[in-house]
Amino acid sequence: MTARLKAIYHVRGEAGSIEARAQAIAVEQSVEMPVDAIDDAFVLSEIVGRVESIAEISPGTFEVEVGLSAETISDDPGQLLNMLFGNTSLHDDVTLHDMVLPPEVIACFGGPHQGLDGLRARVGARDRALTCSALKPQGLPSPDLADLAHRLALGGLDYIKDDHGLADQAFSPFAQRAAACAEAVRLASEFTGHQTRYIPSVSGHLDRMRQQLEFARDVGIDTVMIAPMIAGFSNVWLLAREYPDVAFLAHPTMGGASRIAPTLLISRLFRLVGADGVIFPNSGGRFGYSRETCKAIAARALEPWESLQSSAPIPAGGMTLERVPEMLSFYGADVILLVGGALLSARSELVAATKAFTAAVADHNYA
């Protein structure tokens, strides 16, 4: 038998009809045609999706496990998404809850090159949590963004990333912005003695992202942000293979709510295609993920998974300085704390506020 993967769905339904519904999902996600019109022995035994288990996990909600041949995926991460959830994503009664991949599929995709360890090594921070902030608002000219980056770097941050809204717009074109921000951060790092990294956001079609990566490398940048749901999984994966020395942070924009479990999408799928760090909305911020969900996202991004590097968890989305001790107690040291707008609100006191942030992280008792 060929290697098989498992897609795990949560399906709303009734006990009397769930078996038929599960079977319909298994067919929809594999051969997508009446099974009794299939003669081919290989297709019948290997390719037609198989319902492997059905369990009622709460009243009216069933966990359905469907086995699929790994051959249907070949070596393409986009095709993995297609097989896991493609047409079934169009059905309102189903969410994609989890997946189980055979080792050879995981090895084929390869995951992150740097992981949390690599992100630590870049900034020389071994035992503490890492710090990050964001350049915004979009609409500012590149010199103003570079000035912000300079002041944030003077505050001793580890990473300073573009807002995910920053693309290749007329008000701060990618090349101009990346060059200016990288230089501003380099100058501040010389002053502080700390190796702060600037992280530009790459976007657009594959050719354009590749051009942006080439340009970024030319100006000394070794870490970038990318949005897998917009760029396309296959393209993110390819870039992570083509630029093994670059660290990639995944942004969850367009990740949808409630249709693909975030512990799968963010901690597994983004990691599988090569995200060295994964940004996600922390509980108690502007988004609705629970504490349990956030804990699970972080744990899964870090836990051993075959031979893959970890993805650094990056909780974000409305975090404040006041929450730093609580977040560190909750996540421990294996985390990158991202505080964006709350630092920018300090305005002329930006450097001081940033220093307070980095000091709180450095001085925290992680024991």
Residue closer to a second copy by CB (options 158, 163) is 163
> Please, which residue, 109 or 116, has the CB nearer to a second copy?
109
Least CB distance from residue 334 to a second copy, whole Å? 23
Give the nearer residue to a second copy in terms of CB position, either 198 or 233.
Answer: 233
The one among 61, 195, 287, 359 contacting a second copy by CB under 8 A: 287
- Note the Cα 15 to chain centre separation in Å: 36
Which residues, in sequence order, are bridge partners of residue 197?
Answer: 159
- The continuous run of DSSP H or E covering 289 comes out as none
Q: Kindly state the tokens that stand for 8.
A: 């795990």
Phi then psi for residue 168, to 5 deg, are -125, 60
DSSP 260: B
Residues 222-241 that bind a second copy (CB under 8 A): 227, 230-235, 237-238
| Cβ nearer to a second copy, comparing 104 with 190 | 104
Pick out residues in 296-355 that bind a second copy (CB under 8 A).
Answer: 317, 340-342, 344-345, 347
Rounded least distance, CB 344 to a second copy, Å? 5
DSSP letter, residue 317: S
Q: Is residue 164 a contact partner of residue 136, using CB atoms and an 8 Å limit?
A: no
Q: CA–CA separation, 280 vs 252, rounded Å?
A: 6
Distances 156 to 45, 58, 199, 339, 350 between C-alpha atoms, Å: 59, 48, 15, 13, 11
Return d(Cα 119, Cα 132) in angstroms, integer. Answer: 12
Q: Name the phi and psi angles at 278, rounded to 5.
A: -125, 120
CA distance 341 to 139: 15
Chosen residue from 6, 208, 295, 355 binding a second copy by CB under 8 A: 208
- Which parts of 4-63 interact with a second copy (CB under 8 A)? 24, 28, 30-34, 36-40, 42-43, 46-48
Q: Which is nearer to a second copy, 332 or 341 (CB)?
A: 341
Would you give the binding string for a second copy spanning residues 126-165, x where CB under 8 A is met?
Answer: ----------xxxxx---x------------------xxx
Query: CA of 290: how far to CAs of 146, 262, 293, 299, 363, in Å?
Result: 35, 11, 5, 14, 27
Q: Considering beta carbons, is residue 25 or 188 the nearer one to a second copy?
A: 25
CA-angle at 97, arms to 6 and 22, nearest 5°: 65
Site string for a second copy, 80-109 (x = CB under 8 A): -xxx-xxx-xxxx-----------------
- Closer CB to a second copy, residue 24 or residue 187? 24
Asked if residue 302 lies in contact with residue 309, where contact means CB atoms within 8 angstroms, the answer is no
The answer to whether residues 158 and 131 touch, using CB atoms and an 8 Å cutoff, is yes
Among the residue ranges 105-113, 186-194, 286-294, 305-313, the one whose residues contact a second copy (CB under 8 A): 286-294
Here the tokens at position 15 are: 């006990």
Q: CB 365 → a second copy: shortest distance, Å?
A: 31
Identified binder of a second copy from the candidate list 156, 252, 277, 284, rule CB under 8 A: 252
Whichever of 204 and 332 has its CB closer to a second copy, that residue is 204
Q: Which of 253, 290, 307, 329 binds a second copy (CB under 8 A)?
A: 253
CB 360 within 8 A of CB 324: yes
Asked if residues 112 and 312 have their Cβ atoms less than 8 Å apart, the reply is no
Token reading at 131:
């710090």
Choose between 79 and 195: whose C-beta lies nearer to a second copy.
Answer: 79
Least distance to a second copy, CB of residue 325, Å: 22
Stretch near a second copy under the rule CB under 8 A, chosen from 13-21, 122-130, 198-206, 328-336: 198-206
Question: Which of 286, 291, 307, 329 touches a second copy (CB under 8 A)?
Answer: 286
Kindly tell me which of 126 and 347 has the beta carbon lying closer to a second copy.
347
State the nearest-atom distance from the C-beta of 265 to a second copy, in Å. 10
